[in-house]
């Protein structure tokens, strides 16, 4: 699954806006000799990016379909991902990242232009960077240990990036847990406290919509096994 020009055209600006935000926060921090606050803000951005990835993933996995405005193509892609999870490891970088890069370019560029406060920039650059690269972290979580770069494996094992085992649980019935895909730090809390189940119940009673995870797994969810090899989690 090779990347095409359009995907490059979206990924490059996305990366650029995040890098600008990072550079601005570092310059502003150096000029004002404030380092702790921007670093702390960056850490909070990293933590919240994981939460955001989980909420978005939960929504996309459970509601809407290919015809849903704005999100339809993403929903269809996620459904396809559940059916053929290993294919994410065969997509090239821009192919995986371009939808998020497009959204973040629009969101982060105005902040790059208007904001000069190092702490805010610190939060924005780390949060947006983690969100944009979450699909790459996700792809690595589908990789096999032997084929992943050792630093990636080390970061997964350290819990800095979402682990292969944790994300593997999301691809097993009942497909209603482990939604976060940046570090996965929120997964245990959200699952143990049934946060998404509570949200699903509220949406059901208020709007009458049932999430996909409530239904018996059908062919849309169930992974198709390859004939030659299937990505296994080690």
Partner 1 sequence: MATLTLPKHSFSSLLPSQTPRTPSSQSLSIVSKSSQSHFYGLKLSNSSSLPIPSSTPAKTSIVAKVSKGQVPPSFTLKDQDGKTVSLSKFKGKPVVVYFYPADETPGCTKQACAFRDSYEKFKKAGAEVVGISGDDSSSHKAFAKKYRLPFTLLSDEGNKVRKEWGVPSDLFGTLPGRETYVLDKKGVVQLVYNNQFQPEKHIDETLKLLQSL
Residues that bind partner 1 (CB under 8 A): 176, 192-195, 197-198, 200-202, 204-206, 214
Dihedral sign for Cα atoms in the order 227, 228, 230, 234: positive
In this structure, how many other beta carbons lie within 10 angstroms of the beta carbon of residue 137?
22
Comparison of 115 and 169: residue with beta carbon closer to partner 1: 169
Identify whether 107 is preceded by a cis peptide bond (ω within 30 of 0).
no
Comparison of 61 and 112: residue with beta carbon closer to partner 1: 61
Taking the complex as a whole, how short is the minimal distance between the CB of residue 200 and partner 1, in angstroms? 8
Comparison of 188 and 220: residue with beta carbon closer to partner 1: 188
Taking the complex as a whole, how short is the minimal distance between the CB of residue 62 and partner 1, in angstroms? 12
Smallest CA-to-CA distance from 97 within 5, 181, 15 is with: 15
Taking the complex as a whole, how short is the minimal distance between the CB of residue 194 and partner 1, in angstroms? 4
d(Cα 221, Cα 232) in Å, to the nearest integer? 17
Decide: 197 and 176 in contact? Cβ < 8 Å: yes
Comparison of 205 and 225: residue with beta carbon closer to partner 1: 205
d(Cα 223, Cα 214) in Å, to the nearest integer? 17
Taking the complex as a whole, how short is the minimal distance between the CB of residue 59 and partner 1, in angstroms? 17
């Amino acid at each position: 699954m090779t990347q095409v020009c359009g995907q490059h055209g979206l990924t490059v600006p996305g990366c650029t806006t995040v890098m600008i935000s990072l550079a601005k926060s570092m310059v502003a921090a150096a000029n004002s000799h404030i380092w702790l606050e921007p670093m702390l803000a960056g850490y909070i951005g990293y933590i919240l990016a994981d939460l955001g990835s989980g909420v978005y993933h939960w929504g996309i996995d459970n509601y809407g379909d290919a015809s849903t405005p704005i999100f339809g193509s993403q929903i269809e892609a996620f459904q396809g991902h559940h059916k053929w999870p290993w294919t994410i490891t065969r997509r090239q970088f821009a192919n995986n990242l371009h939808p998020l890069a497009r959204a973040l370019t629009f969101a982060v560029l105005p902040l790059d232009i208007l904001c000069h406060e190092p702490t805010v920039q610190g939060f924005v650059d780390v949060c947006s960077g983690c969100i944009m690269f979450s699909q790459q972290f996700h792809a690595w979580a589908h990789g096999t240990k032997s084929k992943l770069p050792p630093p990636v494996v080390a970061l997964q094992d350290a819990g800095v990036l979402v682990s292969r085992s944790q994300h593997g649980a999301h691809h097993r019935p009942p497909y209603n847990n482990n939604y976060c895909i940046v570090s996965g730090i929120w997964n245990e809390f959200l699952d143990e406290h049934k946060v998404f189940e509570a949200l699903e119940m509220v949406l059901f009673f208020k709007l009458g919509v049932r999430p996909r995870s409530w239904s018996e797994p059908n062919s849309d969810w169930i992974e198709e096994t390859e004939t030659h090899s299937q990505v296994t989690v080690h």
